[in-house]
Structure 1
Amino acid sequence: MNKVTIAVVEDEVIIANDICDTLETLGYSVLEPAINYTEALETIEKHKPDLVILDIQLSGKKDGIDLAWKIKEDYNIPFIFLTSNADQLTIDRAKRVDPPAYLMKPFNEDELYSSIEIVLFNFAEKQKEDENLVINDSIFIKQQMLFKKVKFEDILFLKSDHVYVEIVTKNQNKYVVRGTLNSYLGKLDNNFVRIHRSYIANLSHLDMINQVTIKIGAIELPIGQRYRKTLLDRINIA
């Protein structure tokens, strides 16, 4: 299972390293911290983190609030403000971005952990059709009050079961989540295609295909008549 990946944007090196150490202790995967708006955008674009923790005060012309607006407009990534600034003007500017969380320095480990998990939970709640969270190239599957990260590339196929979907991975793990195949198809990458009213397959794991079935590893899946042409077009078979 992949860890949740977090980007830290903080222009004070000692504080940035302390935050990163705390996050690693909590079991998260942490990217190299960015110190300004430009570095942060480069990190987000290159590594596609699952969550961003950003200080409001950054070196350069654009601060953390400017960065938060950019993240909100161009990326489907939740963020947490982390700052020692509590003046009313700063709070008013920050509120306009509608931040998922706002942590004041100094923070402790429990406060940081709780904020991250609550932000992921609330972000997932905004996704209307299921209980789980899709960020970049991964789905976060809700298990009690925590989220387990499953990368798209590890998924073999999805199977519909009324109002639930079973997600099967290449290590044979199975996760049952609430939702519909259509709700997930729009969130997955281009390797996934509907092959049957009950199945979505990850074509990157395709081993065999004939007129009525495909094979992924040792698993054979049916091809629905109405989905056959789309499937064949996707894999360039006339």
Structure 2
Amino acid sequence: MHKAKIGIVEDEMIIALGISNTLQELGYDVTEPATSYTEALDMIATEKPDLLLVDIQLSGYKDGIDLAAKIRLDPGIPFMFLTANADPVTVKRAKEVHPHAYLVKPFRKDDIYTAIELCLHNYGASKQRKQVEGNYIVNNAIFIKQGSLFHKVKIEDILYLESDNVYVNVYTASGKLLVRNTLQDYIELIGSPLFVRVHRSYAVNINHIEAINTEYLVINKIEIPVSKAFRDSLFRHLKLG
């Protein structure tokens, strides 16, 4: 039976070694702990862990949430946060990168075991759900069924998504495709951090934003409303004041 390999990203070495010992007692394979954003990327490339335990506070300029945003560009690695920070600001930032679990230190051995097993199970189930109502994710592209044909759309070429009751309109520079799904579920299906919710009815690919103010943004010369509920998160994502 395959033993899951767990990657540890923690800049406090005593804590990292304690977590490593606990995981080995639980029967997991464990990587050498990484202490920074850069070390973590090197560890992922060389060790290829099945799951990452990421501390939010890391040494260096980029923290664990920055690392998680990078990890989400590669949908092959699920991750969960281990942190002593449970304040609203930190939790809100963490939610934006959709961790598979969030454990607050100190935690018990049973807590970390349960979180890891649920994380691995849910991630495996979510991969199988990549086929949803005629939508298939393959190599950073999505095949969308329209009538008898599957249309291949590169995820990076999607401009924005628009909710239409129980459907979602998928807009590209060449036109519109209609899928049966909720907006939030479709964002999760795509699984790219480039897509940000800006309104209860809209999510946009931030790489295609041409202009923006506090009321709306422009993509492909189309004005898309920005609601107050999503404005702060959007501006923070774009690093705007």
TM-score range, shorter chain: 0.5 to 0.7
State the partner residue of 2:5: 5
* Alignment partners' CA distance in 1, 2:65 and 2:56: 6
Greater C-alpha Rg = 1
Show the counterpart of 1:60.
60
Residue-by-residue CA offset, 1:63-115 (whole Å, 9 max, x unaligned):
00000011111251110100001111111100001111000000111000000
Higher RCO, 1 vs 2 (CA within 8 Å, ≥6 residues apart): 1
User: C-alpha separation between the residues in 1 aligned to 2:89 and 2:129?
Assistant: 37
- Please name the residue that 2:158 is paired with: none
Q: 2 CA distance for matches of 1:105 and 1:77? A: 23
Q: Deviation at 1:125?
A: 1.4
Question: CA separation in 1, counterparts of 2:129 and 2:91?
Answer: 33
Counterpart of 1:113, as a letter, is Y
Aligned-partner Cα distance in 1 for 2:84–2:38: 22
**Which residue matches 2:39?**
39
3-state SS of 2:39 partner: helix
Give % identity: 56
Aligned residue number for residue 107 of structure 2: 107
**What is the number of residues matched between the two proteins?**
130
Distance in 2, matches of 1:47 and 1:87, equals: 32
CA RMSD of aligned residues (A): 1.3
Give TM-score, length-normalised by structure 2: 0.52
Q: CA deviation at 1:127?
A: 2.2
Q: TM-score when scaled to structure 1?
A: 0.53
Against the structure 1 CA distance between its residues 15 and 52, is the aligned structure 2 distance closer, same or farther, given a 3 Å change threshold?
same
Q: Which runs of 4+ in 1 moved over 3 A?
A: none
Residues of 1 paired with 2:122 and 2:128: CA distance?
Answer: 12
TM superposition shift of 1:129: 6.1
2:117 corresponds in structure 1 to 117
CA shift for structure 1 position 2: 3.3
Stretches of structure 2 lacking an aligned partner (at least 5 in a row): 131-241
Question: Relative to structure 1, is the Cα distance of residues 75 and 45 closer, same or farther in structure 2, using a 3 angstrom cutoff?
Answer: farther
Aligned-residue offset at 1:128 = 2.9
* Deviation per residue, 1:160-186 (Å, 9 max, x gap): xxxxxxxxxxxxxxxxxxxxxxxxxxx
